[in-house]
Amino acid sequence: MSHALIPLVFETQRIRSRDQFRAWQEWFSPVFDISSIGPGEQSFFAKNSIWNLGDISISKVVAPSVHVQRAERNLKKSPCDHWALTFCKQGATSVKTPRGEFEAAGGVPFLWSFGEPFESKRTHVDRIQILMSRKAFRDLAPLLDAARGVSLETPWGGLLGDFMLAVERWLPSMKELDLARLAAAVRNMVAVCFAPSAERAILARPEIDCSQLERIQRIIDAHLNSPQLNPATLCRMSRISRSQLYRLFERTGGVARYIQRQRLMRICELLSDPTDQRPIAAIAAAFCFEDASSFSRAFRQEFDCSPGDFRWAARAGIALIAPRRTTAKAEIVRFADLLRESTGL
Protein backbone atom coordinates (compact mmCIF):
# COMPACT_ATOMS: atom_id res chain seq x y z
CA MET A 1 0.00 0.00 0.00
CA SER A 2 1.44 3.36 -1.04
CA HIS A 3 1.21 6.15 1.54
CA ALA A 4 0.47 9.81 0.89
CA LEU A 5 3.34 12.28 1.00
CA ILE A 6 3.11 14.34 4.19
CA PRO A 7 5.01 17.64 4.24
CA LEU A 8 7.10 18.90 7.11
CA VAL A 9 5.71 22.27 8.11
CA PHE A 10 7.46 24.98 10.11
CA GLU A 11 5.54 28.19 10.76
CA THR A 12 5.92 31.07 13.15
CA GLN A 13 2.28 31.96 13.67
CA ARG A 14 1.94 30.08 16.97
CA ILE A 15 5.18 31.50 18.37
CA ARG A 16 5.17 34.67 20.46
CA SER A 17 5.40 37.72 18.22
CA ARG A 18 8.71 38.93 19.63
CA ASP A 19 10.29 35.49 19.07
CA GLN A 20 9.00 34.78 15.57
CA PHE A 21 11.89 36.18 13.54
CA ARG A 22 14.48 34.52 15.79
CA ALA A 23 12.69 31.20 15.34
CA TRP A 24 12.80 31.66 11.55
CA GLN A 25 16.53 32.36 11.72
CA GLU A 26 17.14 29.25 13.82
CA TRP A 27 15.06 27.08 11.50
CA PHE A 28 17.40 27.82 8.58
CA SER A 29 20.63 27.89 10.60
CA PRO A 30 23.39 26.98 9.85
CA VAL A 31 22.46 26.54 6.16
CA PHE A 32 21.74 30.27 5.84
CA ASP A 33 22.21 33.42 7.86
CA ILE A 34 19.01 35.45 7.74
CA SER A 35 18.71 39.10 8.67
CA SER A 36 15.89 41.59 8.47
CA ILE A 37 15.64 44.32 5.88
CA GLY A 38 13.45 47.36 6.24
CA PRO A 39 11.90 48.57 9.48
CA GLY A 40 11.91 46.15 12.40
CA GLU A 41 8.52 44.60 13.06
CA GLN A 42 7.16 43.04 16.21
CA SER A 43 5.73 40.05 14.35
CA PHE A 44 7.09 37.88 11.53
CA PHE A 45 4.48 35.57 10.03
CA ALA A 46 6.24 32.98 7.85
CA LYS A 47 5.69 29.38 6.77
CA ASN A 48 7.93 26.75 5.20
CA SER A 49 6.40 23.49 3.91
CA ILE A 50 8.83 20.82 2.72
CA TRP A 51 8.15 17.56 0.92
CA ASN A 52 11.19 15.33 1.39
CA LEU A 53 11.19 13.06 -1.66
CA GLY A 54 14.68 11.63 -1.30
CA ASP A 55 16.78 12.78 -4.25
CA ILE A 56 14.43 15.74 -4.66
CA SER A 57 12.93 18.01 -2.01
CA ILE A 58 10.27 20.59 -2.70
CA SER A 59 10.10 23.64 -0.47
CA LYS A 60 7.33 26.21 -0.36
CA VAL A 61 7.93 29.46 1.54
CA VAL A 62 5.54 32.29 2.27
CA ALA A 63 7.44 34.93 4.24
CA PRO A 64 8.16 38.67 4.62
CA SER A 65 11.20 40.35 3.08
CA VAL A 66 14.62 39.24 4.36
CA HIS A 67 18.32 39.23 3.52
CA VAL A 68 19.65 35.67 3.07
CA GLN A 69 23.33 34.74 2.96
CA ARG A 70 25.16 31.45 2.49
CA ALA A 71 28.76 32.44 3.23
CA GLU A 72 31.93 30.35 3.55
CA ARG A 73 31.18 29.69 7.23
CA ASN A 74 27.77 28.27 6.27
CA LEU A 75 29.36 26.05 3.64
CA LYS A 76 31.66 24.59 6.31
CA LYS A 77 28.93 24.08 8.91
CA SER A 78 26.40 22.65 6.44
CA PRO A 79 28.34 21.11 3.54
CA CYS A 80 25.66 20.28 0.98
CA ASP A 81 25.80 20.98 -2.74
CA HIS A 82 22.22 20.71 -4.00
CA TRP A 83 21.04 22.74 -6.94
CA ALA A 84 18.08 24.94 -6.07
CA LEU A 85 15.54 25.73 -8.76
CA THR A 86 13.52 28.70 -7.46
CA PHE A 87 10.27 30.23 -8.68
CA CYS A 88 8.48 33.10 -6.95
CA LYS A 89 4.76 33.17 -7.61
CA GLN A 90 4.74 36.54 -5.86
CA GLY A 91 7.64 38.76 -4.92
CA ALA A 92 11.04 39.55 -6.41
CA THR A 93 14.58 38.51 -5.49
CA SER A 94 17.92 40.27 -5.92
CA VAL A 95 20.64 37.59 -6.16
CA LYS A 96 24.42 37.63 -5.90
CA THR A 97 26.54 34.55 -6.69
CA PRO A 98 30.19 34.05 -7.73
CA ARG A 99 28.98 34.22 -11.32
CA GLY A 100 27.51 37.69 -10.91
CA GLU A 101 24.37 39.51 -9.83
CA PHE A 102 20.85 39.46 -11.28
CA GLU A 103 17.27 40.39 -10.49
CA ALA A 104 14.64 37.65 -10.56
CA ALA A 105 11.15 39.06 -10.94
CA GLY A 106 8.07 37.17 -9.85
CA GLY A 107 7.17 34.51 -12.40
CA VAL A 108 10.78 33.99 -13.57
CA PRO A 109 12.63 30.83 -12.38
CA PHE A 110 16.32 30.86 -11.53
CA LEU A 111 18.91 28.26 -10.59
CA TRP A 112 21.67 28.42 -8.00
CA SER A 113 23.86 26.00 -6.04
CA PHE A 114 24.15 25.30 -2.32
CA GLY A 115 27.79 24.37 -3.02
CA GLU A 116 28.97 27.97 -3.38
CA PRO A 117 28.38 31.32 -1.67
CA PHE A 118 25.00 32.87 -2.28
CA GLU A 119 23.32 36.08 -1.19
CA SER A 120 19.84 37.40 -1.83
CA LYS A 121 17.50 40.17 -0.81
CA ARG A 122 13.85 39.52 -1.41
CA THR A 123 10.50 41.14 -0.99
CA HIS A 124 7.58 39.37 0.64
CA VAL A 125 7.42 36.12 -1.32
CA ASP A 126 5.26 33.12 -2.12
CA ARG A 127 7.96 30.83 -3.46
CA ILE A 128 8.40 27.27 -4.69
CA GLN A 129 11.82 25.65 -4.73
CA ILE A 130 12.95 22.27 -6.08
CA LEU A 131 16.15 21.05 -4.40
CA MET A 132 18.07 18.50 -6.47
CA SER A 133 20.90 16.48 -4.97
CA ARG A 134 24.08 16.52 -7.03
CA LYS A 135 24.59 12.77 -6.55
CA ALA A 136 21.22 11.86 -8.05
CA PHE A 137 21.46 14.37 -10.92
CA ARG A 138 25.12 13.73 -11.71
CA ASP A 139 24.37 13.13 -15.40
CA LEU A 140 22.97 16.68 -15.66
CA ALA A 141 25.81 18.27 -13.67
CA PRO A 142 27.54 20.03 -16.62
CA LEU A 143 24.22 21.42 -17.81
CA LEU A 144 23.09 22.61 -14.37
CA ASP A 145 26.46 24.08 -13.45
CA ALA A 146 26.51 26.04 -16.70
CA ALA A 147 22.99 27.37 -16.06
CA ARG A 148 23.39 28.30 -12.39
CA GLY A 149 23.47 31.89 -11.26
CA VAL A 150 21.13 33.31 -13.91
CA SER A 151 17.41 33.88 -14.23
CA LEU A 152 15.61 32.04 -17.02
CA GLU A 153 13.65 34.92 -18.56
CA THR A 154 12.79 33.06 -21.77
CA PRO A 155 9.72 31.25 -23.18
CA TRP A 156 11.22 28.01 -21.86
CA GLY A 157 11.56 29.65 -18.45
CA GLY A 158 7.86 30.47 -18.53
CA LEU A 159 7.11 26.85 -19.32
CA LEU A 160 9.35 25.72 -16.46
CA GLY A 161 7.51 28.03 -14.06
CA ASP A 162 4.19 26.55 -15.15
CA PHE A 163 5.61 23.08 -14.56
CA MET A 164 6.65 24.01 -11.01
CA LEU A 165 3.14 25.29 -10.31
CA ALA A 166 1.79 21.99 -11.61
CA VAL A 167 4.12 20.08 -9.27
CA GLU A 168 2.83 22.15 -6.36
CA ARG A 169 -0.72 21.24 -7.34
CA TRP A 170 0.14 17.54 -7.62
CA LEU A 171 1.79 17.23 -4.22
CA PRO A 172 -1.32 16.83 -2.01
CA SER A 173 -2.48 13.83 -4.05
CA MET A 174 0.92 12.19 -4.64
CA LYS A 175 1.87 8.84 -3.16
CA GLU A 176 5.25 7.28 -2.38
CA LEU A 177 4.99 5.22 -5.56
CA ASP A 178 5.02 8.47 -7.57
CA LEU A 179 8.50 9.52 -6.42
CA ALA A 180 10.44 7.91 -9.27
CA ARG A 181 8.03 9.38 -11.82
CA LEU A 182 8.37 12.84 -10.29
CA ALA A 183 12.18 12.65 -10.32
CA ALA A 184 12.12 11.68 -14.01
CA ALA A 185 9.69 14.49 -14.80
CA VAL A 186 11.88 17.09 -13.08
CA ARG A 187 14.96 15.73 -14.86
CA ASN A 188 13.32 15.92 -18.30
CA MET A 189 11.87 19.37 -17.78
CA VAL A 190 15.05 20.90 -16.37
CA ALA A 191 17.10 19.49 -19.25
CA VAL A 192 14.84 20.78 -22.02
CA CYS A 193 14.29 24.22 -20.46
CA PHE A 194 17.94 24.99 -19.75
CA ALA A 195 19.30 23.43 -22.96
CA PRO A 196 16.47 23.12 -25.51
CA SER A 197 16.85 20.58 -28.30
CA ALA A 198 14.49 18.53 -30.46
CA GLU A 199 15.57 15.32 -28.73
CA ARG A 200 15.05 16.71 -25.23
CA ALA A 201 11.70 18.18 -26.25
CA ILE A 202 10.52 14.72 -27.30
CA LEU A 203 11.65 13.21 -23.97
CA ALA A 204 9.96 16.01 -22.04
CA ARG A 205 6.68 15.97 -24.01
CA PRO A 206 4.55 14.76 -21.02
CA GLU A 207 6.04 17.47 -18.78
CA ILE A 208 5.59 20.15 -21.44
CA ASP A 209 1.95 19.10 -21.78
CA CYS A 210 1.50 19.39 -18.01
CA SER A 211 3.02 22.87 -18.07
CA GLN A 212 0.73 24.01 -20.87
CA LEU A 213 -2.25 22.48 -19.11
CA GLU A 214 -1.36 24.29 -15.89
CA ARG A 215 -1.25 27.63 -17.72
CA ILE A 216 -4.61 27.06 -19.41
CA GLN A 217 -6.21 25.96 -16.14
CA ARG A 218 -5.10 29.23 -14.54
CA ILE A 219 -6.68 31.15 -17.42
CA ILE A 220 -9.91 29.20 -16.94
CA ASP A 221 -9.92 29.83 -13.18
CA ALA A 222 -9.56 33.57 -13.78
CA HIS A 223 -12.45 33.76 -16.28
CA LEU A 224 -15.11 31.42 -14.89
CA ASN A 225 -17.64 34.29 -14.81
CA SER A 226 -17.15 35.11 -18.48
CA PRO A 227 -19.71 33.90 -21.05
CA GLN A 228 -16.91 34.18 -23.63
CA LEU A 229 -14.90 31.41 -21.93
CA ASN A 230 -14.76 28.81 -24.70
CA PRO A 231 -12.18 26.84 -26.73
CA ALA A 232 -11.63 29.65 -29.24
CA THR A 233 -10.90 32.15 -26.46
CA LEU A 234 -8.54 29.73 -24.70
CA CYS A 235 -6.63 29.05 -27.92
CA ARG A 236 -6.17 32.77 -28.49
CA MET A 237 -5.11 33.53 -24.89
CA SER A 238 -2.74 30.54 -24.55
CA ARG A 239 -1.45 30.67 -28.14
CA ILE A 240 -2.03 27.02 -28.92
CA SER A 241 -4.07 25.31 -31.63
CA ARG A 242 -7.54 23.89 -31.09
CA SER A 243 -6.23 20.37 -31.67
CA GLN A 244 -3.57 20.89 -28.97
CA LEU A 245 -6.20 22.20 -26.57
CA TYR A 246 -8.47 19.21 -27.11
CA ARG A 247 -5.56 16.79 -26.70
CA LEU A 248 -4.50 18.39 -23.40
CA PHE A 249 -8.01 18.04 -21.93
CA GLU A 250 -8.75 14.63 -23.39
CA ARG A 251 -8.14 12.82 -20.08
CA THR A 252 -10.42 15.21 -18.17
CA GLY A 253 -13.41 14.54 -20.41
CA GLY A 254 -12.86 17.53 -22.66
CA VAL A 255 -12.32 21.25 -22.20
CA ALA A 256 -16.05 22.09 -21.99
CA ARG A 257 -16.53 19.44 -19.32
CA TYR A 258 -13.57 20.82 -17.35
CA ILE A 259 -14.89 24.39 -17.50
CA GLN A 260 -18.32 23.27 -16.28
CA ARG A 261 -16.84 21.32 -13.39
CA GLN A 262 -14.68 24.25 -12.28
CA ARG A 263 -17.72 26.51 -12.35
CA LEU A 264 -19.66 24.01 -10.25
CA MET A 265 -16.78 23.76 -7.77
CA ARG A 266 -16.68 27.56 -7.43
CA ILE A 267 -20.43 27.60 -6.86
CA CYS A 268 -19.95 25.02 -4.10
CA GLU A 269 -17.56 27.38 -2.36
CA LEU A 270 -20.13 30.17 -2.44
CA LEU A 271 -22.95 27.90 -1.28
CA SER A 272 -20.76 27.01 1.72
CA ASP A 273 -20.21 30.68 2.58
CA PRO A 274 -22.74 31.77 5.26
CA THR A 275 -22.18 35.43 4.36
CA ASP A 276 -23.43 34.89 0.80
CA GLN A 277 -27.21 35.12 1.02
CA ARG A 278 -27.93 35.30 -2.70
CA PRO A 279 -30.50 32.89 -4.12
CA ILE A 280 -28.96 29.76 -5.59
CA ALA A 281 -30.21 30.72 -9.05
CA ALA A 282 -28.41 34.09 -8.83
CA ILE A 283 -25.12 32.42 -7.88
CA ALA A 284 -25.51 29.94 -10.73
CA ALA A 285 -26.25 32.73 -13.21
CA ALA A 286 -23.07 34.53 -12.16
CA PHE A 287 -21.19 31.50 -13.51
CA CYS A 288 -23.08 31.32 -16.78
CA PHE A 289 -25.80 28.83 -15.73
CA GLU A 290 -28.82 30.83 -16.92
CA ASP A 291 -31.32 27.96 -16.89
CA ALA A 292 -32.13 26.81 -13.32
CA SER A 293 -33.26 23.31 -14.28
CA SER A 294 -30.16 22.54 -16.38
CA PHE A 295 -27.94 23.89 -13.60
CA SER A 296 -29.66 21.73 -10.97
CA ARG A 297 -29.31 18.68 -13.21
CA ALA A 298 -25.58 19.35 -13.83
CA PHE A 299 -24.98 19.91 -10.12
CA ARG A 300 -26.71 16.66 -9.15
CA GLN A 301 -24.81 14.69 -11.79
CA GLU A 302 -21.51 16.08 -10.48
CA PHE A 303 -22.07 15.86 -6.71
CA ASP A 304 -24.98 13.42 -6.33
CA CYS A 305 -27.10 15.93 -4.41
CA SER A 306 -29.15 19.02 -5.12
CA PRO A 307 -27.69 22.53 -4.73
CA GLY A 308 -30.16 23.23 -1.93
CA ASP A 309 -29.17 20.10 -0.01
CA PHE A 310 -25.50 20.96 -0.45
CA ARG A 311 -25.98 24.49 0.91
CA TRP A 312 -27.90 23.17 3.92
CA ALA A 313 -25.27 20.48 4.72
CA ALA A 314 -22.33 22.86 4.35
CA ARG A 315 -23.86 25.52 6.57
CA ALA A 316 -24.89 22.91 9.15
CA GLY A 317 -21.20 22.13 9.61
CA ILE A 318 -21.28 18.65 8.14
CA ALA A 319 -17.73 17.63 7.20
CA LEU A 320 -17.64 16.73 3.52
CA ILE A 321 -13.89 16.11 3.30
CA ALA A 322 -11.70 14.62 6.03
CA PRO A 323 -8.88 16.94 7.16
CA ARG A 324 -5.42 16.03 5.87
CA ARG A 325 -2.69 15.12 8.33
CA THR A 326 0.24 17.51 8.47
CA THR A 327 2.53 15.74 10.90
CA ALA A 328 6.12 14.80 10.07
CA LYS A 329 8.99 12.84 11.56
CA ALA A 330 10.06 14.33 14.86
CA GLU A 331 13.79 13.99 14.20
CA ILE A 332 13.70 16.68 11.52
CA VAL A 333 13.73 19.86 13.55
CA ARG A 334 15.60 22.21 11.21
CA PHE A 335 15.97 22.83 7.50
CA ALA A 336 19.54 21.52 7.71
CA ASP A 337 18.31 18.15 9.00
CA LEU A 338 16.35 17.61 5.82
CA LEU A 339 19.39 18.36 3.66
CA ARG A 340 21.54 15.96 5.67
CA GLU A 341 18.90 13.24 5.31
CA SER A 342 18.80 13.57 1.54
CA THR A 343 22.59 13.62 1.15
CA GLY A 344 23.60 11.12 3.83
CA LEU A 345 25.96 13.65 5.46
DSSP 193-204: HHS--HHHHHHT
**Does any domain span residue 22?**
yes
Most confident of 203-207, 263-267, 310-314: 263-267
Residues 6+ apart with CB under 8 A from 250: none
**Does any domain span residue 243?**
yes
Gyration radius from the chain CA atoms: 22
Q: How much is the pLDDT for 337?
A: 53
Question: The domain spanning residue 140 has which CATH number?
Answer: 2.60.120.10
Convert the pLDDT of each residue in 112-160 to its tens digit: 999 899 999 999 999 999 998 887 788 888 888 888 888 888 888 999 9
Cβ proximity of 121 and 67 under 8 Å: yes
Convert the pLDDT of each residue in 283-295 to its tens digit: 999 999 989 999 9
Q: Does residue 150 sit in the same domain as residue 244?
A: no
Residues 6+ apart with CB under 8 A from 18: 42
**Does any domain span residue 112?**
yes
Q: Does residue 245 sit in the same domain as residue 131?
A: no
**Does any domain span residue 334?**
no
Residues 6+ apart with CB under 8 A from 223: 229, 233
The pTM of the full predicted model, rounded to 2 decimals, is 0.68
Length of the chain: 345
Q: Which of 2, 1, 3 is nearest to 328 (CA)?
A: 3
The pairs formed by 261-264 with CB atoms below 8 angstroms and a separation of 24 or more are 261/302, 262/220, 262/221, 262/224, 263/224, 263/287, 263/288, 263/289, 264/298, 264/299, 264/302, 264/303
Residue spans of beta strands (DSSP E) within the chain = 8-11, 33-36, 47-52, 56-63, 66-70, 83-90, 93-97, 100-104, 110-113, 118-122, 125-132, 150-151
Q: Does residue 310 sit in the same domain as residue 195?
A: no
**Does any domain span residue 331?**
no
Q: Does residue 271 sit in the same domain as residue 146?
A: no
Distances (CA, A) of 253 to 34, 55, 212, 217, 246: 48, 34, 17, 14, 10
Integer Cα distance of 234 and 216 in angstroms? 7
Tell me which residue range forms the domain holding 236. Answer: 223-315
Q: Does residue 274 sit in the same domain as residue 153?
A: no
Residue 186 pLDDT > 90: no
Q: How much is the pLDDT for 78?
A: 87
**Does any domain span residue 330?**
no
Q: How much is the pLDDT for 77?
A: 87
Q: How much is the pLDDT for 1?
A: 57
Integer Cα distance of 69 and 119 in angstroms? 4
Neighbours of 150 (CB within 10 A): 18
Q: Does residue 192 sit in the same domain as residue 228?
A: no
Cβ proximity of 229 and 216 under 8 Å: no
Convert the pLDDT of each residue in 21-77 to its tens digit: 999 999 999 999 999 886 656 789 999 999 888 778 899 999 999 999 999 999 988
Convert the pLDDT of each residue in 72-127 to its tens digit: 999 988 888 889 999 999 899 999 998 889 998 899 999 999 989 999 999 999 99
Q: Does residue 49 sit in the same domain as residue 84?
A: yes
Q: Does residue 167 sit in the same domain as residue 287?
A: no
**Does any domain span residue 171?**
yes
**Does any domain span residue 345?**
no
Q: Does residue 12 sit in the same domain as residue 126?
A: yes
Q: What mean pLDDT is reported for the chain?
A: 85
Integer Cα distance of 62 and 45 in angstroms? 8
- Using DSSP's 3-state secondary structure scheme, residue 245 falls into helix
Percentage, residues of the chain above pLDDT 70: 90
Q: Which of 92, 90, 78 is nearest to 335 (CA)?
A: 78
The total of structural domains in the chain comes to 2
Mean pLDDT for 236-240 is 89
Q: Any idea which of 222-236, 246-260, 313-327, 330-344 has the lowest mean pLDDT?
A: 330-344
Q: Does residue 192 sit in the same domain as residue 276?
A: no
Integer Cα distance of 270 and 249 in angstroms? 26
Q: Does residue 63 sit in the same domain as residue 179?
A: yes
Q: How much is the pLDDT for 282?
A: 95
- DSSP state letters, 168-179: HHHGGG-BGGGH
Question: The domain spanning residue 269 has which CATH number?
Answer: 1.10.10.60
